[in-house]
Homo-oligomer: A and B are copies of this chain.
Amino acid sequence: MQEDFELKEKYIPQLSKPAYLLVSLPDAGLVGSIAGEFLINHLDLKEYGEIYSHKYLPPISHVIGGLAKSPLRLYHSNNLILLHSWVAIPANTLYPLARFIVNYAEKYGIETIISVTGVPVPNRLDLDKPTPYWITNSEDFAKELDELNLMKKFDEGYIAGPYATILIESSKKSIRNFVIVVESFLDLPDPEASAVALEIISKIIGFKVDTTSLLKEAEEIRGKIKGLMQQTKQEIPNYAGLKPFTYA
């Protein structure tokens, strides 16, 4: 575990049960990234860890308040760990990072890993409110998600990229994982889709969050996160093995 990735934790957070791990990595529409950053700022999450890797992360530091930090950081509340990346994940990093994440979840007794991403739809502009879908790696959990009725079932298709590898790796360790897939733009940051995902997460994990600011500041967010979108846009085609791929 320490070989490919190095972990630096200020302390070990004590989580109440059931404990969740939310993973927000840049992908289509930055739906997960925007949701992750919103929670960091509005849910009073505590930053407690950084993840380093010579082998799998580019030579980039994220700077905040003059302090240089790893772009891959860990935050927590009382029953939630958030693993958030401030840079796009290179394609060859996907499998080892997924393995790291799932090992980390196991170490902390996490019961459910939640991921958030977008599924690009051509008519995104015409949608009043984008529809959320779920994908999971567990048949039992699939029944629960069906009954919860917060999202539609993702019926048939493919999922490629960082969340696909986490689904695969967590399945091997029998940790349940589900992905909230919200209809979104492909290469425009999509705060509205993030807001839809955040409402679902808040109901499942049990916290209150007011996403109206997300919708109000959509334009501003798009501007601020433009560089990350550009990076991500270039990486996404690599996730499917350098080949175009159609979802759903």
Contacts and interface: CB of A to CB of B under 8 A. Distances in A.
A157 B63 contact: yes
Contact of A65 (B52, B153, B160): B153
Given A142-B66, A154-B63, A246 B234 contact: no
Contacts of A145: 66
Copies of this chain per assembly: 5
Interface stretch (A38-46, A87-95, A121-129): A87-95
A173 B139 CA distance: 38
Interface size bracket, A side: 35 or more
A29 interface: no
B95 A59 contact: yes
A63 B159 contact: yes
Interface string A213-248: 000000000000011001100110001110111101
Contacts of A137: 67-68
B142 A241 contact: no
B58 A135 contact: no
A164 B243 contact: no
Interface of A: 6, 8, 52, 54, 58-68, 70-71, 86-88, 90-91, 94-95, 133-137, 139, 142, 145-146, 153-162, 164-165, 167-168, 171-172, 179, 226-227, 230-231, 234-235, 239-241, 243-246, 248
